[in-house]
Each structure stands twice: as C-alpha cells, then as structure tokens.
Amino acid sequence: MKPAVASVWKQLGAAAEALRECHLRDMFAADAERFANHSAVWHDWLLDYSKQRVDANAMSLLRALWLVADMPDWIARMRAGEPINHTERRAALHIALRHPAGKGTIAHTGRDVMPAVHAELAKMRRFCTEIHGRHWRGATGEPITDVVNIGIGGSDLGPRMATQALAAHRHRDIRVHYVANLDAADLATVLSGLRPATTLFVIASKTFTTQETMQNAASARAWLVAALGEAAVARHFVAVSTNLGEVARFGIDPANAFAFWDWVGGRYSLWSVIGLPLALAIGFDNFEKLLAGAHAMDEHFFAAPPEANLPGLLALLEIWNTNFLGADNRALLPYSQSLGLLPRYLQQLEMESNGKQIDRQGQPLNHATSPIVWGEAGTNGQHAFYQLIHQGGRLIPCEFIVCREADFDLPGHHEKLLANCFAQAEALMRGKTLAETTAELSSAGLPADEVARLAPYRSFPGNQPSTTLLLPRLDPFNLGALIALYEHKVFAESVIWDINPFDQWGVEYGKQLASRLLPIIEGKADTTGLDSSTRGLIAWVSANTTAG
C-alpha cells in the first residue's frame, strides 16, 4: 500500500472507531439535512446513502482515498487501452463496445478498434432483421420462433439477466432460452418444449472449446440432426466465437460466426456479440438503447468528481463497510421481479473480479477485498431471509434498487412495492427499542406480564446500513446504465484494493483439475497421485453406478 493511501487508510480506521457506538437513528435526529447531505443525483436517478453509517468526516476521507489511489490516472489508463489486466497482458476495453460511432477513436496497441466494433454491430443488426422479418428460414422452410443460447459464465449470465429484465420490451415473435449448466437437466428441459424445425441455437464460446458449452452444443446438434439431418445444422446454428476452424468443423458456416476480441473479458462482454440473444429477444433498436445507457454511465464515471460519482460512491461505501466496519457480505435487494437475476449476475461480476488476495505487485494483501454478494428480488426476500437481517446479529449492508415507475403496470401493485421497499430500509435503519416495543404492546391493551414476555422478541437493534438506488423506470437505456454502474464500481474498488479485477485464475485452476479427472472417471486412466478423498469419491461412483 502506497504511503499516501496508508495514511488515509489509518485515518479512516480512526473515523470508523469514532462512529462505532453511533446509531443511525441518532444521526438522523442530529442532522435535519442528512438526506440532502448524503445523496446524489444523476439525470433522473437518485442514490440515497443517508442510511449508511457515515458522517461528513468519513465521506471526506473516502473521497481523499479516491484521489490518493490515483483513480483519475487509472481511469485514463483504461480508456487509453493500456494492458491494465497485467497478468494476462491485456487491455480491458469493454467501454469501446458501447462507444458511439463518430465520437472519437479508442485505440488498442496503436490501432482504432471502433471500426471493427461497429462492423460486428452492423452484422448483428442484419441478422436480427433477418430473424425478426422471418427471412431467415430453417431447413424445412419455416421461420425461427425460438432461440437457444448455449454458453456459460459471461456468455450466459449477462444476456440471460438482461433478457429477463427487459421482458416488457421483448419482440413478440421470438422466444429466447438459455442453457449453461453441464447437468443434462438444463438442456433437456429447454429442448422438451421446442420444435427442431423452428429452433435456432447460438453457441457462445470465444475459443469454441469451453467444456460445458461444447458438450451442450454437441447434444443440441444431435437432437437437431436426429430430426432434420446433418444438412440442417447450417440453418439452425450460429456461433459467437473467434475460432473459425472449430466453428466450421462443427458444421456452422463461418459467415454466421460473430467475432469479439481478447480485450473483452467474459463478464464484461454483454455489450459485444455475446449480446446477440438479447438483441434477438428485444430487437436491435432496443439493444442500441442499452449500449447508449451504458455509454452515458461511462461518461459520468469518467468525469464526475467522487462526491457526485455514482459508481465511485458505491465503491467507497463498500470499502468503508468491508474494510472499516468489518462487513463480509452485502445483500442486493432489487424490488423488481424483472431484476430477479441481477444478484446472480453481480455475484459473477463482483466476486470473480475482486475475489483476490494478491496485489498488483504479486504480494499478499493485508486487507479484505470483495464481500460475498447475495440477494433476492423483493418482496419475495422479505418472506425468506429478512428476519436474519433484522434480528440475526450480523452486520449486513443492504442495497435496495427500485424503480419509480412499473414496467408492467397492473393497478395496485407498484405503490405497494414502493411502500415495502422504503419501509424495509427504514426498519433496518431505525430498529425498535425495548421501550418503544413495551409502549406499543401496552397501548394495544396487553397485560403487563404479557408485555414483559413479548417485548424482547419484538424489539429490533436497527443500525443496519443500506443504500437505496431509485431509477425512473426499467427500460433498455436505464438497464444499460445500471450494469455499467456496477462495472465501474468494481473497477474503482480494484484500484483502491490494488488488485487486478480482469483475470480469474481460481476459475482456471478448477477447469484444469476437471480435465485431469475426466479420463479417470471415464475409466481411461488410473487414480495414481490423487488424494484419498478424491480417489474415494471416484471409486464410490464407479462401484455404485448401475450399468446402462
């Protein structure tokens, strides 16, 4: 840790200690302007962090941390296409994928990447037009009605989450499905409701060698060929890949392969041709609005000072909660059924990016990094785990996301949803003292002995920190901005934590071990060199599997 960062870090530790015994309800009572002083606005978005356990001094120090960590310089390095993914010697230029045409160049190794980006987007548009216009026909001459995306990780979670989030904007003639899990139940369940003659598969794998994706692709191919024959493959499969040789060997016309680049990380790739199934689901015009929303958030992140920078504020507050208040997790609570997959998406984006304990110099860190991210859409979560947040005795910072307007406007629903969201944030902040509970039960007419018996159970400590992000509505533009918000939050955290958010060597190690174990499980190699547990597990499967 650089001396300047260490100095501010120490001051933040002292600030946290000074606030340790302060309760949020007392902070509100002491400051009539707390909401105004601890909130930020971007366009028609509102970020309310007044229910976080911070004061003016803590926020001032957090903003100082932003500057001494050289955040503006790191942002400039990312924008310049420098290899900030230093372990893989790659740039991280996902921002180029949503940069508008004619708005300047973005260079990688001295070459402007924008012509190639927009050429692929144009190819996506043409393909979407063919599918939506019913010009692309399957092997039997019927138009496509169902699209199955086969990918995993970043080739699945982003477009899957966004497709659900934008269900109100979906194209009326196309149904999009997603398959990721190697477990056959995933693919088999999807295929059971489809007709081969009207189904198109999108195989999303940069190398076209990803084990899970290619096994699912092979099984989907066998399903199609059994019904329509080998010649049908070219009309029912397209690829998102850069390995054109493997694409052709699979039977896909390389002309129907969509390309992306090694400076696009998987979990940052929604904006590229990985977003093809999403564009098919919502139409390419809406996909372009998604890109526009992300670009607008890019510009905000690049230019706004830390006190008004929404991704920056979320990053600084998480560092405060994690490194100075001791939280090891964060509950993500979207009060939107359409955003029901957002917690899963952000689990990958945040924990795969910042789940690291080695700094950029290759040395072990002496501070925590990414918290565990978990959550569920409200109001469902209220009837599942909110009890633990309210009375479980753990520090659980919460992040509420809610829209001012409903995307499906059924009378009587959205007002109740807003009321529940705001009420939960208030309850977590305020709590209910034993004296308040006693008075409440007494006023309800309960006998004194019953009041004394029940009051401890019905009291709440409160002081649980939360942030509320209030969006105007859930549409392609605002969803694009929301996803980019979290991408930049992750990057800002990584700068302060001094880690590389763009590699994932832990994931790669598990893949290596799985490749080593597969021939042993298939009976083609022996168990020499395995630990006793792994050897015992394989032996148990072998001895207890019924033949046939």
Cα 182 to chain centroid distance, Å, stands at: 21
**Residue in 269, 249, 250, 251 with CA at minimum distance from that of residue 260:** 269
Same domain as 128, residue 16: no
We report the CATH number of the domain holding residue 519 as 1.10.1390
Residue 197 domain-assigned?
yes
**Residues 255 and 321 grouped into a single domain:** no
- Say whether both 267 and 317 belong to one domain: no
Residues 232, 221: Cα–Cα separation, whole Å: 10
Among candidate residues 2, 10, 413, 511, the one labeled active-site is 511
Instruction: State which of 282, 306, 332 marks the end of a domain.
Output: 282
In a shared domain, residues 368 and 481: yes
Is residue 421 located within the same domain as residue 339? Answer: yes
> The tokens of 452 are what?
């004394």
Q: SS3 for 10?
A: helix
pLDDT of residue 242: 84
Domain of 390 in residue numbering reads as 3-81+289-430+464-497
Clarify whether residues 53 and 199 are in a common domain.
no
pTM here? 0.96
User: How confident is the model at residue 394, as a pLDDT?
Assistant: 97
Cα–Cα distance measured from residue 287 to residue 278, given in angstroms and rounded to the nearest whole number: 7
Going by their DSSP bridges, the two strands 329-334 and 107-108 should be labelled as unpaired
How far is 326 from 298, CA to CA, in rounded Å? 30
Pair 267, 224 in one domain? yes
Final residue of a domain: which of 252, 282, 312?
282
SS3 45: strand
Residue 369 belongs to some domain of the structure: yes
491 with 516, same domain: the answer is no
Number of domains in the chain: 3
Domain-located, residue 411: yes
| Residues 401, 363 contacting (CB under 8 angstroms) | no
For residue 420, give every residue at least 6 positions away whose Cβ sits within 8 Å of its Cβ, in sequence order, or none. 335, 378, 379, 382
Residues 55 and 27 sit within 8 Å (Cβ to Cβ): yes
Q: Does 346 lie in the same domain as 269?
A: no
Tokens linked to 289: 């609005």
- Mean pLDDT for back-to-back runs of 10 residues, the chain (548 residues): 95 97 97 97 98 98 98 96 96 97 93 96 97 97 98 96 98 96 98 97 93 96 98 97 91 93 93 98 98 98 98 98 98 98 98 97 97 98 97 98 97 98 98 97 97 97 98 98 98 98 89 90 91 94 79
Question: Is 120 annotated in the active site?
Answer: no
Query: Kind and range of the H or E element at 257?
Result: strand 257-258
Domain presence at residue 437: no
In a domain? residue 441? no
Residue 352 annotated in active site = yes
> Of 43, 383, 413, 416, which residue is the catalytic one?
383
Q: What is the mean pLDDT of the chain?
A: 96
Do the Cβ atoms of 200 and 165 come closer than 8 Å? no
Q: In this structure, what DSSP letter does residue 144 have? A: P
Q: Is residue 216 part of a domain?
A: yes
Residue 94 CB-half CA count within 13 A: 26
190 and 254 both lie in a single domain: yes
Residue 274 sits in the same domain as residue 413: no
Please report whether residue 32 resides in a domain: yes
The answer to whether position 446 is within a domain reads no
pLDDT of residue 548: 52
Q: Which of residues 282, 314, 335 is at a domain's end?
A: 282
Q: What is the CATH number of the domain that holds 278?
A: 3.40.50.10490
**Residue in 212, 352, 376, 493 annotated catalytic:** 352
Same domain, 271 and 305: no
- Reported as a single tens digit per residue, the pLDDT across 518-531 is 999 999 999 999 99
